[in-house]
Amino acid sequence: MRLRVTKDVDSHRVNPNYPTLRIEFELPKDDNFRIRSMLEADWCPRDDEIIEVVEKMLDISPTFGPKLAKRLEAKSKLLWRLLIEYAFSLHQMKPHLEGILSKRRG
């Protein structure tokens, strides 16, 4: 199985303007996944479908929860760093923006 983000999806329910997570199953190479009626399949999951997979993985895998928590912690640290940098940039630009706005008003 390969995970790939793409806009190239052949499905009537997927908006081609947005990237989609593709889970590609390579049969028979993926011996841990079996489709009984086709030779290959693409699944373009909705958010709720992914949440279902995550919930199921939390139920069945003792290592999935800690791995997910670690990645979410790293992502949240990155998000906070970006927000702090953005706030600092706005603070640095404030005098310049106030000068521009006062010229427009006056």
- Cα 96 to Cα 2, 28, 77, 86, 105, distances in angstroms: 49, 62, 30, 16, 15
Residue 20 has φ and ψ, to the nearest 5°, of: -125, 140
Instruction: Please report the pLDDT score of residue 21 as a whole number.
Output: 61
Instruction: Please report the pLDDT score of residue 42 as a whole number.
Output: 58
Write the pLDDT tens digit of every residue in 61-98. 788 899 999 998 988 998 888 888 888 887 777 777 77
Contact 16, 34 (CB under 8 A): no
